[in-house]
């Protein structure tokens, strides 16, 4: 199952779920003087336990979004951690704990009720280089969670093409 979604922080996210795990690829838009094109920026493989942690963390983030709309607090709080491996390294050698990165999901609540959710390398989740995924929009976050659960980001597609 391969699904893709257009995003704010990353131009596009592709999710592939198969018997080998969950694969998440991010793409960014690049511009030159002559053209504009999209390139793959990162590709990660998550095993079953990491995929479960990611889904549970996203569900928690959705609850916190609703809470912060009401309470409007400014804060940063880690939701969860999980291991992910670069897809290319996983394809060459399978899962090797020494080559897996510890990823963190960081929720940043703002006092106006908005939020930022960052998922990235635990050591550098707040930096550009450590960031893997960023969400600032609740509907996009819900679509991403839906993709991880095997749904299309477009409900009409799921309604037409049922399993």
Per-domain residue ranges for the chain? 45-160
CA nearest to 17, candidates 57, 53, 45, 59: 45
- pLDDT by residue (tens digit) across 95-132? 898 889 999 999 999 999 999 999 998 877 565 556 88
State how far the Cα of 37 lies from the Cα of 1, in Å rounded to an integer: 25
pLDDT at residue 10 in the model: 66
**Angle CA(143)–CA(118)–CA(133) in degrees, nearest 5?**
55
Q: Is the pLDDT of residue 4 over 50?
A: no
Q: Which of the four pLDDT bands, split at 50, 70 and 90, describes residue 2?
A: very low
- pLDDT by residue (tens digit) across 8-45? 456 788 899 999 999 999 888 777 778 877 777 789 99
Query: In the 8-state DSSP scheme, what is residue 33?
Result: S
Average pLDDT over the chain, rounded to an integer: 86
pLDDT at residue 64 in the model: 98
Greater confidence, 159 or 80? 80
- pLDDT by residue (tens digit) across 35-76? 877 777 789 999 999 999 999 999 999 999 999 999 999 999
State how far the Cα of 84 lies from the Cα of 21, in Å rounded to an integer: 11
| Global pTM value | 0.84
pLDDT at residue 30 in the model: 75
Q: Is the pLDDT of residue 1 over 70?
A: no
């Amino acid at each position: 199952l391969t699904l893709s979604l257009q995003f704010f922080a990353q131009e596009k996210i592709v999710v592939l779920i198969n018997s080998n795990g969950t694969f998440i690829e991010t793409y960014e838009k690049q511009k030159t003087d002559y053209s504009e094109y999209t390139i793959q920026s990162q590709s990660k493989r998550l095993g079953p336990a990491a995929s479960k942690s990611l889904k549970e963390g996203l569900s928690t983030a959705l609850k916190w979004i609703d809470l912060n709309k009401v309470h409007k607090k400014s804060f940063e709080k880690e939701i969860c951690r999980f291991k992910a491996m670069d897809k290319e390294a996983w394809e060459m050698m399978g899962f090797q704990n020494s080559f897996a990165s510890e990823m963190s999901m960081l929720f940043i609540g703002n006092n106006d009720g908005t939020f930022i959710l960052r998922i990235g390398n635990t050591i550098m989740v707040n930096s550009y280089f450590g960031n893997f995924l960023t969400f600032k929009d609740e509907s996009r976050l819900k679509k991403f969670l839906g993709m991880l659960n095997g749904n299309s980001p477009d409900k009409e597609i799921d309604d037409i093409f049922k399993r």
